[in-house]
A and B are shown apart, each in its own frame.
Chain A
């Protein structure tokens, strides 16, 4: 029943005559690839904004005195940094940009299951973002991104309600994206694409979607109740009204701990793709990596109380949470060991995406292991609310998620745009980011262990040297983030034409043209082999054929 059809044109091109038509064709598109580009632009804008707030924080901390801003303004600066980076960058980053672009392509579908819902998620994201921006412009919010009660519900005089509304609306965007992915992955896989032939990026996004659907509503309710208490004085969290401030922490972390896995799981999916492609080997232990994603998603729901060891949470609950926290290390370690085993005897090529992937493994290991320090109640008592915690989660969030995001953007850039970026500059930027990152955050481990508390803008003079190192590192890191913007931008016009499969990778997304046509494939692909089906001798052949200047 196959019919011949004319080759379709790329999704980027359209034949609108006027600027308004062109704008409409983008703002009313239901094409998952175009929506991914809309997300890419919006998310990078928020990333720069969050980076700007981080700059303010780091510049203030160069000297022990509060000479750039008052403590109140400082509170608003780090809150802006946290809110923007967590809710408007990290959570949507990989699923909404790379996931949106790749999930249908990787499973051989024309689009996501609910294309219009997909566009709605982008609009919800933008509306949420606008609320957060308005709150920031009209004075900001000073509660920290965690909105802890009773400060947020009773005492704070900043724009709590506005910011919470933004996060609440953005939550729906996240839920709808997760819903769309789950239905798409269940229902729209190409013929022959069984569950255990799926790329691991799909497994990772599936696990992420489960968390998005099951956890986000709890955050929505928790935040809504803060608003209800602030506006109408209904006693939920305020003990004077019969409430309990700790209830907020329970509800908040029931979402926000799994949210950490919303950020890191898709990143792990990207890394599985990169490691396999640039080692020219089948991934080691496919099933273990796939199920470890699911295990992390489920275990992630049982550990939230480790954020509350030093609150008035019962010590018995603390013990239980501490034990379960240790369990998360198992699936995480399974992944790291499997990636390392994939590298073994592979033909490793140090292209830009691979540099990010290798950086990810090292930094994630440091971030993950320090997480175990923090999961042990005895150590946690010493370092709670210090820079040790700040360093730990930046190693996971920046060293993990952002490295994978950038690696993924570089890896699929030829597919998204049809052009290659400049490989030399790509490598340089990856190294700048790696060096800048470590210089920024490693000193913070030491600072925290020595007792520097987080969220203070003045500190004892003996900490200055480490703070100055950290700020210097942040400047290097900032350069590392700006360089890719430049060469990726230039590549749009001047980059070499990429061709369908510049990396010689497996996977359905490389079987269609670059950039892909509107409906992805001219003919529905039929899958007859497992993912990463590099022949056993591929690595050796690749290594033997290597010459200086070889493309791979």
Chain B
């Protein structure tokens, strides 16, 4: 009974669907393949054509990687069509990842990273 209610509710707002169609899976897969080609292309361009500054190269590589991750988490791991509670947990995992990165990088920056910046006094 409760389940039917949620179902109707979700459809009413048009924000949740109970499953992801096969076509969407193929489109996501295609997008991932394109992003993979982009990753390799970015590496090749940096290696053979133009010398990119480190921060730019890292930003490009990270942006592509994040795009891939988001696609996989939302579609292949079904977070897009999951309950709010599942979404909160999935988001929570990234909050924890940010904690890991921010605090660890805090140490690295204070010790002198990138090396030319030198350590804090």
- Flag A284-311 by CB within 8 Å of B: 1 or 0 each: 0000000000000000011011000000
Q: Is A156 an interface residue (CB 8 A)?
A: no
Contacting A at CB under 8 A, from B100-121, are: 100, 103-104, 106-107, 110-111, 119-120
Residue of A nearest to B121 (CB): A316
| A214 contacts B96, C-beta separation under 8 Å | yes
| B104 contacts A250, C-beta separation under 8 Å | yes
For B92, list chain A residues within 8 Å (CB): 214
Most buried by B among A182, A218, A250: A250
Main secondary structure of the interface of A (DSSP, over half): helix
A95 to chain B, nearest CB (A): 18
Q: Is A547 an interface residue (CB 8 A)?
A: no
C-alpha gap A36/B94 in the complex (Å): 32
| A218 contacts B110, C-beta separation under 8 Å | no
C-alpha gap A313/B107 in the complex (Å): 6
C-alpha gap A414/B89 in the complex (Å): 37
For B110, list chain A residues within 8 Å (CB): 314-317
B66 to chain A, nearest CB (A): 17
Given contacts A250-B104, A305-B107, A320-B106, contact A314 B120 (CB under 8 A): yes
* Interface magnitude class on chain B: 10 to 19
C-alpha gap A250/B85 in the complex (Å): 30
| A218 contacts B100, C-beta separation under 8 Å | yes
C-alpha gap A250/B108 in the complex (Å): 11
| A302 contacts B99, C-beta separation under 8 Å | yes
Main secondary structure of the interface of B (DSSP, over half): helix
Q: Is B33 an interface residue (CB 8 A)?
A: no
Q: Is A254 an interface residue (CB 8 A)?
A: yes
C-alpha gap A461/B120 in the complex (Å): 44
Q: Is B93 an interface residue (CB 8 A)?
A: yes
For A250, list chain B residues within 8 Å (CB): 104, 107
C-alpha gap A218/B107 in the complex (Å): 18
C-alpha gap A251/B99 in the complex (Å): 12
- Flag A230-260 by CB within 8 Å of B: 1 or 0 each: 0000000000000000110011001000000
For A251, list chain B residues within 8 Å (CB): 100
Q: Is A493 an interface residue (CB 8 A)?
A: no
With contacts defined as CB atoms under 8 Å apart, how many contacts are there between chain A and chain B in the complex? 39
A480 to chain B, nearest CB (A): 39
C-alpha gap A259/B48 in the complex (Å): 46
C-alpha gap A317/B120 in the complex (Å): 11
Most buried by A among B85, B96, B107, B119: B107
| A317 contacts B106, C-beta separation under 8 Å | yes
Residue of B nearest to A319 (CB): B110
Given contacts A186-B85, A214-B92, A214-B96, contact A302 B103 (CB under 8 A): yes
B97 to chain A, nearest CB (A): 9
B114 to chain A, nearest CB (A): 13
Q: Is A312 an interface residue (CB 8 A)?
A: yes
B11 to chain A, nearest CB (A): 22
Contacting B at CB under 8 A, from A167-194, are: 182, 186
C-alpha gap A219/B89 in the complex (Å): 19
For A214, list chain B residues within 8 Å (CB): 92-93, 96
For A320, list chain B residues within 8 Å (CB): 106
For A314, list chain B residues within 8 Å (CB): 107, 110-111, 119-120
Residue of B nearest to A210 (CB): B92
| B96 contacts A301, C-beta separation under 8 Å | yes
C-alpha gap A314/B107 in the complex (Å): 6
Partner of B111, one of A182, A215, A254, A312: A312
Given contacts A214-B92, A314-B120, A316-B120, contact A301 B99 (CB under 8 A): yes
Residue of A nearest to B100 (CB): A254
Task: In the A-B complex, list the 6 residue pairs whose CB atoms are closest, starting with the nearest.
Answer: A314-B110, A317-B107, A316-B110, A314-B111, A214-B96, A250-B104
Interface residues of A (CB under 8 A from B): 182, 186, 213-215, 218, 246-247, 250-251, 254, 301-302, 304-305, 312-317, 320
Given A250-B107, A301-B99, A313-B107, 4 other A-B contacts at CB below 8 A? A247-B104, A314-B110, A316-B110, A317-B107
List 18 A-B residue pairs with CB atoms under 8 Å apart, sorted by A's residue number: A214-B96, A215-B96, A246-B107, A254-B100, A301-B96, A305-B107, A313-B107, A313-B111, A314-B107, A314-B110, A314-B111, A314-B119, A316-B106, A316-B120, A317-B106, A317-B107, A317-B110, A320-B106
